[in-house]
Amino acid sequence: MSDSQRYHTRDGESRSARKPIEILWNILGFGFAIVMGVAGYLGADWFILENEVRHWVYLPPELAWPAASPFLGLRIGVALIALFLGGAVFTLLYGLVQPVKRGRYDVEAHESNLRGYRR
């Protein structure tokens, strides 16, 4: 066995013994990413239109670039922020639904006793 093969598997454990990623979580994650990106873009579009009427936030005219689609950079930026925050929420929900379980190579939790500590 070559040296590079040893880094891919642990001693006595084959690659096929790993638990496969559930296809449902892959589909949900991909769909959620698409939905969050589109929702962020549409939310930014709604905000720009309402901001023109109600003047909530001053948007400098330099942001109205390109002329064919004004505030495109702002819309894409808000869509990326929504995608990032949506991914954080999805990760949190996944952690609550399926918490990480310790494997046979993990170390037991250590309780710290700082009362007897002296410098």
Q: What tokens were used for 3? A: 């040296």
Q: Does the pLDDT value for residue 93 go beyond 70? A: yes
* pLDDT for 9: 56
Element (H, E) at 90: helix 72-97
3-state helix, strand, coil in the chain (%, to 5): 60, 0, 40
Strands annotated E in the chain: none
Element (H, E) at 61: none
Selected residue with higher pLDDT from 95 and 10: 95
pTM above 0.85? no
Element (H, E) at 78: helix 72-97
Which residues, including other chains, have CB under 8 Å from residue 85's CB and lie 6 or more apart?
36
Selected residue with higher pLDDT from 25 and 69: 69
With respect to residue 70, please indicate whether it lies within any of the assigned structural domains: yes
Closest by alpha carbon to 94, among 35, 30, 28? 28
With respect to residue 23, please indicate whether it lies within any of the assigned structural domains: no
With respect to residue 69, please indicate whether it lies within any of the assigned structural domains: yes
The mean pLDDT of 13-32, rounded to a whole number, is 73
With respect to residue 50, please indicate whether it lies within any of the assigned structural domains: yes
With respect to residue 59, please indicate whether it lies within any of the assigned structural domains: yes
Per the structure, the complete domain to which residue 61 belongs is given by 41-97
* pLDDT for 91: 86
Phi-psi region of 12 (alpha: psi -120 to 50; beta: other; left: phi over 0): left
With respect to residue 48, please indicate whether it lies within any of the assigned structural domains: yes
Q: Does the pLDDT value for residue 46 go beyond 90? A: yes
With respect to residue 91, please indicate whether it lies within any of the assigned structural domains: yes
3-state SS class at 11: coil
With respect to residue 109, please indicate whether it lies within any of the assigned structural domains: no
Q: Does the pLDDT value for residue 88 go beyond 70? A: yes
Q: What are phi and psi of 71, to 5 degrees?
A: 60, 35
Given pLDDT bands bounded at 50, 70 and 90, which one contains residue 16? Answer: low
* pLDDT for 86: 85
Number of domains in the chain: 1
Give percent above pLDDT 90 in the chain. 23
